[in-house]
Chains A and B, each alone.
Chain A
């Protein structure tokens, strides 16, 4: 019945009739049953012999890589991480793998890339860990061809800069800035007038990386930008540039607020220096250009608000220069001043904004000592939020030493306060610091009823802790929660265990 015609063809012909309905197509013996029976035969025959003839392109094979895949247990940990991805842990895995000279197992690369491509910040470390396989797969899947911050600058960087999309340009600028700061500045200048306010602000943000005097003229000009957010960002970056003229202007203003009186008293008529803090009486419009706000956000006094902004942007040397006193003596002499609290906060802020300023270490120690001993001790300065920002800007080892010194023997830094202090810097902990911190935690362990508050610091510890101190962490949690930890605490515990296991698998 179908001689000469292939079954697919027969089926197509029958489908025309079926589409219209046998009622409408009059044909001898073309009732529905007949049609369906013919379709059944043609259908089975077509299905049995279907062949695909489309033209195909071969896919070039992935280049062979000398670097070995991570072993099965290392791979299993990565797969677990990808089950409920946490960026920090995945980064950690990839960093460890890179350090050991192994790559992500091929079967895990797609899941990892898929996750990675959806991240707002795509770490180059993660992509690098996928090795040749990652590059090869990303070349085959459009969704994975996303900008990545790498150390390689494309040959056509300037062309990409002129025509690229916002995210692409941002990533490119950061790469260039890290390798060749001057070239990055030139790129920003090249399109500055055509870029939108939001982009201009983001580019200045990138220039904060490795900012130097070479950038100053440009940033000074940006203080007169037509957009306020751009002006503010420029002021912020200049505040962080040691020796900038903005800082010099701020220092001059700060100096006018420090009033020094010298009196001679006593039998020996020894010279005595008293330092008083006097905030400005009126707002000077010229300050605004350097990023000083006129209106305080909360019910704070206006004068103190202006003063704090300027003191925070000036070198601490302004205090010593005005009074001739060493940092510790200066702090002692202003300890009872009406504005001591504001001044103390701005000193921390100054160290945070410009950690490389002259005498930074001496000032840091003096401030730390003053918060524990002397007249200022016992006051509420332990809660000053600027502590955390200051620590974060110090080199890691210095930050760790300062935080430990802060909690050691500080009566006001007990319990939760000590925990917060030790967890206030989000950089990974050294083994020595981890061990000491665990000891402090054991000593300042909360009473059973308060443990709820400790969820957040415990969570932070679990992310930062050196894996070598995992045992102590387990013991601490067991001691804190004798009836078994709650669900959230158990999560932290799992994270610490997972990290410990990960480091063990990589033999680090």
Chain B
């Protein structure tokens, strides 16, 4: 049974052009030898080449493969095939998999099994322990110097007064941020780069700026004592400084088995780097998880997490004082019927903010926290828009208000109550998904990915 719909498939498209081209191919007469098995669909599509392209999709994930030369991923053939399948499942007649399909799928299954085995036994046998330790020590030293340098700058800034740097905050912060990148502390760099926006934020800017400087100071102070801190907190400090966590760290932990729903995604573009945040919510444990994916120079992002998708699986969390970021360790059936997320626990604004406060107490550098807000509407205050649940309200982020997403959210709710999932940064909410209850639960993803 297919749980795919056009919107979900199109969320996988690497760019609008591919989405459009894929839609043009979502018609049975563009294809020959369409087929389906319980785990895959496939078809042949005549392109400009001599032989028709072989497109195949592993439905369990989903994963795509096509013989066309396109560097886009998934390519338009893959998208077209899945769109067609979503529209007319009967177009792909059940039958035995041809060799070019089954070999690929078997290969994938085998690889997945190997990966799972490896995950089970995180055997530590690095090739050259000594060299690795040496590299790690060298970085520690560079970061230490960077932290010292940053502190000197920060203290000096507060000594001279914020008013003195108001006019050239951007150059000033960018200069120090570049130094932090050299010092292999990219986390510090991005904290510094957030300062100019606070400086330019109008009335009350000095309070907002000081809040950021205080947070930076806290991180610098923690960095000095990182070895004395409890393991979880030390981990959070290192992440805030910019150390990458290795997948194995998460895989080594006991995962959380649940019925997970992808409740929304958000994207951040930084130079050539695209960061995708996928927010998951577990039905039974009533807890959120964040899966972060990166792509450089518009390389494909992992297509297996699609907003609105529900799957039974195991999510493993990276060690943290407030475990939030994780990865999908194992997944079962990817085609569960959509259900609004959230378990039995309270989901009013106060409960949500209480969870945020607790997470912040454990990890004060936490940037974003997911809110799950049932029975929520949009309201206005003069020219601003806010979320309202009962008597409580939450301001929407200015960026969200300016974009088309606010209007799409408004249109989809029709001014009535819905379950809204939003990212909360402590000041503003940025909705990423909406569930509307009706005859059937409907989901709207508010990904502002291609929006200007």
Contact = CB atoms under 8 A, between A and B. Distances in A.
Interface of A: 8, 11-12, 14-16, 18-24, 32-33, 35-44, 46-52, 54-62, 72-73, 75-77, 79-80, 83-84, 106-107, 109-111, 113-114, 133, 136-137, 140-141, 484, 494, 497-498, 501
A137 B19 contact: no
B171 interface: no
B361 A39 contact: no
Contact of A23 (B5, B161, B163, B212): B161
A48 B408 contact: no
A109 B210 contact: no
Contact of A56 (B5, B212, B215, B381): B381
Query: A interface, by DSSP: helix, strand, loop or mixed?
Result: helix
The winner among A35, A43, A50, A80 for most chain B CB atoms within 10 A is: A43
13 contacts: A15-B207, A24-B161, A32-B158, A36-B158, A36-B217, A40-B214, A40-B217, A76-B7, A80-B20, A110-B404, A110-B408, A136-B414, A497-B27
A322 B211 CA distance: 95
B357 A32 contact: no
B378 interface: yes
Given A24-B161, A80-B20, A58 B217 contact: no
A22 B411 contact: no
The 9 A-B pairs at the shortest CB distance, nearest first, are namely: A21-B161, A39-B214, A110-B407, A61-B415, A36-B217, A40-B214, A47-B426, A48-B357, A32-B158
A401 to B, nearest CB: 33
Given A21-B161, A57-B381, A80-B20, 18 more contacts: A15-B207, A19-B161, A35-B158, A36-B158, A40-B218, A42-B214, A47-B211, A51-B392, A54-B384, A55-B381, A56-B386, A56-B393, A79-B10, A106-B411, A107-B444, A113-B407, A137-B411, A484-B48
A140 to B, nearest CB: 7
B359 to A, nearest CB: 9
A458 to B, nearest CB: 18
Contacts of A47: 211, 360, 426-427
A72 B5 contact: yes
B388 interface: yes
Nearest to A142: B383
A93 to B, nearest CB: 14
A377 to B, nearest CB: 45
B111 interface: no
A494 B30 CA distance: 12
B interface majority secondary structure: helix
Contacts of A48: 353, 356-357, 360-361, 426
A73 B27 CA distance: 11
B414 to A, nearest CB: 4
Contacts of A79: 10
A44 B215 contact: yes
B415 A114 contact: no
B5 A136 contact: no
A110 B411 contact: yes
A59 B411 CA distance: 12
B381 to A, nearest CB: 5
Contacts of B388: 56, 58
Interface string B1-39: 000011100100000100110011001000000000000
Contacts of A38: 214
A51 B415 CA distance: 23
Given A59-B380, A72-B6, A140-B410, A21 B158 contact: yes
B415 A54 contact: no
B377 interface: yes
A107 B412 CA distance: 5
Given A18-B206, A49-B353, A32 B154 contact: yes
Nearest to A140: B410
A14 B207 CA distance: 8
Nearest to A59: B415
A195 B357 CA distance: 65
Contacts of A41: 214
A54 B385 CA distance: 11
A111 B409 CA distance: 12
A76 B6 contact: yes
Interface string B145-168: 000000000111111111110000
Interface string B390-424: 00111100000000100110111011100000000
| Interface-centre pick from B23, B361, B381, B427 (highest chain A CB count, 10 A) | B23
A39 B392 CA distance: 27
B158 A494 contact: no
A326 to B, nearest CB: 54
B252 interface: no
Interface string B413-452: 0111000000000110000000000000000100000000
A242 B214 CA distance: 83
Contact of A114 (B6, B206, B217, B404): B404
A61 B211 contact: no
A111 B162 contact: no
A36 B161 contact: no
